[in-house]
Amino acid sequence: ARLEPGDRILVHTGEAVPADARLVDSAAAFDQSLLTGESVPVTLRPGDWAPGGALLAGAPVHLEVMRAAADSTLTLISRLAERGAAQKPALARLADRIAAVFVPLILLMAALTGLIWAWLAPELAWPNAVAVLVVSCPCALSLATPTALAAAHATCLRRQLLLAGGEALETLPTITDVVFDKTGTLTEGRPTLERVDAAPGVDAGQALAIAAGLEQGAAHPFAHALREAAGQGAFEVDRRGHQPGAGVAGRVVLPDGEVLTCFLGSARWCGLGDGRVAREGLGAEAHVGHASEVWLVARAWAAEDAGEPSASAGETRVLARFSFTDPLRASASELVDGLKRDGMTVHLLSGDRAVVVEAVGRTLGLEQVRGEADPQAKQAYVRDLQAQGRRVLMVGDGINDMPVLASADVSVAFGRPTALAQSAADVIVMQPRLEAVRQLLEIGRGTRRIIRQNLGWAFGYNLMAIPLAAAGWVPPWLAAIGMAGSSLVVVFNAGRLLRAARVAEHESVGAAPRPSAA
């Protein structure tokens, strides 16, 4: 809010540009889908404008503010978010359309009732016509869906689930397949550096310093682990390039003055194929295990590297391999078993090495497992399921999950999701609790059940009460009680969702008192 034109700002990977600004130091990719609908990140060069609200999909960059935050495109983002929150789900719109027809129909029925009774018994014409008007309850019909959705939203908030819109609640009961990312979702998302295998003649500490420098400002869990292991010894790196879900590259100046173009990422992205030959060269084959790995390769700096460096553009040499361990979350097995009991097919889809992903899949008893999947492959995997008529819930947390989150029928940003992941998700889990995924599905099924009950009651009540009032068997005073009672039934029935959430909370804390969250 305090930004003014001319201010210099640093934007980290996955963060939103806070105000319209000009790129200063290097080229970077920005996701502008919230503004333009373009799903592919747009590469901007130094001097180009990055609109407020655009999300940085590359390495951290410096920008110069060109407009005050109050005048920037970010204001448009806020309006779009408010508009999205105000959108009614399809069921609510259907109920409104029915109510729009229902009201004039009731007016017509009341008029016909008055005319018929004026001919049969004039003294009963007005009482019976009024009774038809009063006993009919378009309120219950119009309230049936919104009250259930409001209770569901409140229930989600109590469970620390943030819904981006009502459509997700309607789709959740139809889900047939649940697809999980691995790192940071089924695992703790806090990998630790287990081992550094350096090439002959390469100092392991120096390789770690290069890797930590390449990952400065990055949000990926492996980046945190590398920086933590390197401490204050990270090298300065400039002219970074970044490919989500693959790796990072940059120019590194070594203490002896040698300038290298270094690449840190998956074996395939670093030009090492499946990494088997490189592991044999490091004498590390016996240590493959189930650890995740990241490779560091380098080549001499070339003039063409001022653009977008590529590991396949010249002869590279392996510097080191970094092995990470990331334990499964304690509730992962219980969640997977519960989803299977509910009749759903559970998939594990990750960009990590196939051997690691398969090992996790075996531990969890999963048959549908795929590793070494880049963002495009993840998106294609989910679309293939949808082409088979499946309804897919995707759970992920990283920048590389953004395309697949946007493609799934319902998407959940889990753990410590980046702003990019949150922008593509229908539901944001505000605390890293795996059981929240199953709770979300239960809330969706409960909401559908309550909506159906409410609509059934509203229609059944009107079909029964209106003919009785038209026949003269319901006096106006009783009609008034029936109309009010019908609306209250709908409201209290929707409230059962909240009551069920309170009971579950009470049981989960062992009947301990819970402080109020005002």
Q: Which residues are known to be catalytic? A: 181
* Terminal C-alpha separation, the chain: 26
Structure tokens at 245: 């879900």
Structure tokens at 319: 């510097």
Q: DSSP class of residue 267?
A: T
Helix (H) or strand (E) holding 196: strand 192-198
Nearest to 234 by CA among 249, 252, 257: 252
CA angle 480, 484, 490 (to 5 degrees): 150
- Provide the 3-class DSSP secondary structure of residue 176: coil
Q: Outline where 33-137 has alpha helix (H).
A: 33-36, 73-86, 90-120, 125-135
The span from the CA of 296 to the CA of 213, in Å, is 12
The span from the CA of 149 to the CA of 147, in Å, is 5
Nearest to 124 by CA among 471, 482, 483, 478: 471
- Provide the 3-class DSSP secondary structure of residue 314: coil
Q: What is the largest CA-CA distance in the chain?
A: 109
CA angle 96, 173, 393 (to 5 degrees): 115
CB 474 within 8 A of CB 482: yes
User: Mind giving me the DSSP string for 406-427?
Assistant: HHSSEEEE-SS--HHHHHH-SE
The span from the CA of 255 to the CA of 252, in Å, is 10
